[in-house]
C-alpha cells in the first residue's frame, strides 16, 4: 500500500477538502506525497487554458506538478461517463492505473480522489469508481456529511464497498457545527455502531474556505 483512495457518500461532500488537508499534513511532516484526480469533469477556463478545479485546490496548499495530478480533464459538469461521451473522450481505466503506479514509484504516498460517490460510473455501467478503487488496491477513506440523512447514505456506501471487496481505512465526517451538536455526535456513534468502521476525522463547517499562505493555516467562517 502506497496511498489511499478518497471517495464520498455523494458529490460535493468534501472529498477535495479532505484530500487537500491530508496532502498538506503529509507534506508538512516530510512525507513525499501527491494528490491525484484521475477524472475531473467540469473543467474551468483560467489563464488561457482549461484547468481541473480540484487540482487547483491541491496547488493552493501543496507542492504538486499539475500534469501529474489529472489524466482526464472533461469540460461538461456531470457524471464522468457522460462528460466523456459529450466531450468525445474515451476513458481507459488501464491508463489511470498505470498513472498511479508511476506516481507510486516517485512518491511515498499517493492520494487518489474519486468522482462523486463510490457507485459513480466512469465507463457507462461497465466500470465504476468502486472498480477503480479495487484495481488500485488502495485502502478507502469515505467522506460523509454530518447532518440528517448521513446515517443512511454512509451505511449504504459502506455496505456497497464491502460487497465489492474494498478495504476500508475509515470515515471522515465533514461539516460539523462548532461545537458539534448532539445530533451530529449521535450520527457519528450510530454510523460506527452500524458499520464497524471508525470515524477517523471530524472537520468543522467553514464557508468560505481558504488557505492563509502567510500563516500556513486554513480559515473560514464557522457555521453555528
- Rounded Cα gap, residues 47 and 158, in angstroms: 40
- Asked if 141 and 172 touch (Cβ cutoff 8 Å), the reply is yes
Above pLDDT 70, what percent of the chain?
92
Give Cβ neighbours of residue 201 (< 8 Å, ≥ 6 apart). 18, 170, 171, 172, 173
| pLDDT (tens digit per residue) in 160-195 | 999 999 999 999 999 999 899 999 999 999 999 999
Q: What is the pLDDT of residue 61?
A: 82
Binding-site residues for ATP, in ranges, read 12-17, 54, 113-116
Instruction: Look at the chain and count its residues.
Output: 224
- Asked if 203 and 210 touch (Cβ cutoff 8 Å), the reply is no
| pLDDT (tens digit per residue) in 190-222 | 999 999 999 999 999 876 555 555 565 555 543
Closest CA to 52 of 72, 34, 33, 35: 72
Q: What is the pLDDT of residue 205?
A: 86
Binding-site residues, in ranges, read 12-17, 41, 54, 113-116
- Residue 85 catalytic? no
**For residue 98, is it left (φ>0), alpha (ψ between -120 and 50) or beta?**
alpha
pLDDT averaged over every residue in the chain: 91
Q: What is the pLDDT of residue 211?
A: 54
**Domain extents for the chain?**
3-219
- Rounded Cα gap, residues 158 and 160, in angstroms: 5
Binding-site residues for Mg(2+), in ranges, read 16, 54, 113
Cis bond leading into 208, ω under 30°?
yes
Catalytic, out of 2, 37, 49, 193: 37
| pLDDT (tens digit per residue) in 119-155 | 999 999 999 999 999 999 999 999 999 999 999 999 9
- pLDDT: is 79 or 65 the higher one? 79
SS3 12: coil
- Residue 178 is given by DSSP the state S
Q: Could you tell me the pTM of the whole model?
A: 0.90
3-219 in CATH: which number? 3.40.50.300
**What mean pLDDT comes out for the span 57-71?**
87
For residue 1, pLDDT over 70 is answered with no
- Rounded Cα gap, residues 15 and 47, in angstroms: 25
Cis bond leading into 170, ω under 30°?
no
3-state helix, strand, coil in the chain (%, to 5): 40, 30, 35
Rg of the chain's alpha carbons, rounded to an integer? 17
User: What residue ranges in 159-209 does DSSP mark as E strands?
Assistant: 168-176, 199-204
Amino acid at each position: 500500500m502506497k496511498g489511499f483512495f478518497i471517495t464520498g457518500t455523494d458529490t460535493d461532500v468534501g472529498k477535495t477538502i479532505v484530500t487537500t488537508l491530508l496532502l498538506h499534513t503529509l507534506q508538512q511532516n516530510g512525507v513525499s506525497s501527491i494528490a491525484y484526480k484521475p477524472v475531473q469533469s467540469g473543467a474551468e477556463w483560467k489563464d488561457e487554458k482549461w484547468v481541473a478545479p480540484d487540482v487547483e485546490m491541491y496547488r493552493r496548499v501543496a507542492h504538486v506538478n499539475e500534469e501529474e495530478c489529472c489524466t482526464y480533464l472533461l469540460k461538461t459538469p456531470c457524471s464522468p461517463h457522460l462528460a466523456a461521451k459529450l466531450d468525445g473522450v474515451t476513458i481507459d481505466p488501464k491508463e489511470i492505473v498505470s498513472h498511479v503506479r508511476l506516481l507510486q514509484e516517485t512518491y511515498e504516498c499517493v492520494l487518489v480522489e474519486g468522482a462523486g460517490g463510490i457507485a459513480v460510473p466512469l465507463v457507462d455501467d461497465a466500470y465504476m469508481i468502486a472498480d477503480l478503487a479495487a484495481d488500485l488496491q488502495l485502502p478507502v477513506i469515505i467522506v460523509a456529511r454530518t447532518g440528517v440523512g448521513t446515517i443512511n447514505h454512509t451505511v449504504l456506501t459502506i455496505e456497497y464497498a464491502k460487497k465489492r471487496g474494498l478495504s476500508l481505512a475509515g470515515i471522515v465526517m465533514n461539516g460539523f457545527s462548532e461545537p458539534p451538536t448532539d445530533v451530529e455526535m449521535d450520527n457519528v456513534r450510530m454510523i460506527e455502531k452500524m458499520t464497524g468502521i471508525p470515524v477517523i476525522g471530524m472537520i468543522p463547517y467553514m464557508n468560505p474556505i481558504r488557505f492563509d499562505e502567510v500563516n500556513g493555516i486554513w480559515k473560514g467562517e464557522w457555521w453555528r
